Amino acid sequence: MKNVRIWFKKDDECRFISHLDLNRCMLRALHKSGIPIWHTEGFNTHPYATFPLPLSLGFRGEKECMHVRLTEEYDFDDIKNNLNKCLPLGIRVYDVTEVEMKARDISFAQFKIKMSCDEISNDTLLKYAEELFDKDEILVDKKTKKGIKEIDIKPYLDRVKLERNIGGVYLFVVLPAGSVTNINPLLIQKAMNKYFDIDVFFDVTKTDMFDKNLKSFK
């Protein structure tokens, strides 16, 4: 039995597939492609796949990852090509690798966010964003299992970069992610809307995952 990581991009229409549906979609593609993956041995046997860090509904993913076990040897290139034939175009496998780090090593995720707002110009938007990150404290409501809680996201925003180019206003940010702490980038959107009374749109792409030493997840 061999553990492998299947790396893929999730974009276009497919970014609106929820994590649960992505799981189903992947299993169907694995079944169709005939790649020999391990099935659970329980009462209701089913093919087994795990995802180290699920992507929020609506986000684009440039470096998403699925973990499966192969029951027989299977060429990595064949896995990639055969799976791509069986997946909707919005999901593209780009690499298949051996497992190096553990899923629980993931501590941070990196996002690229295109910000836009119909009410104000991009220059104003950029100014607002700079103002927001200059504040000593950024309070937003966060939904938790126990209900809505107000938290300060400022301490998590030490790796932020703003960029204004022809395409619009971009925010690059590294946020805690993984099994311990998770800060969703949409909390920043929420803060923008709250502090400046605007309706800003965030087009979010998750670009990478890191361990606690900011080493890229493999």
Binding site for other proteins (CB under 8 A): 12-14, 16-18, 20-21, 24-25, 28-33, 39, 43-45, 57-58, 86-90, 201
Q: How far is the CB of 214 from other proteins (least distance, A)?
A: 29
Q: For other proteins, which is the closer residue by CB, 21 or 152?
A: 21
Cβ contacts of 205 within 8 Å, gap of 6 or more: 59, 60, 61, 62, 111, 112, 113
Q: For other proteins, which is the closer residue by CB, 30 or 113?
A: 30
Q: How far is the CB of 179 from other proteins (least distance, A)?
A: 25
Q: For other proteins, which is the closer residue by CB, 30 or 173?
A: 30
Q: For other proteins, which is the closer residue by CB, 156 or 202?
A: 202
Query: Are 207 and 114 spatial neighbours (Cβ–Cβ below 8 Å)?
Result: no
Query: Are 134 and 45 spatial neighbours (Cβ–Cβ below 8 Å)?
Result: no
Q: How far is the CB of 85 from other proteins (least distance, A)?
A: 10
**In whole angstroms, what is the distance from residue 62 CA to residue 127 CA?**
28
Vertex 180 angle, CA 16 and 203, to 5°: 30
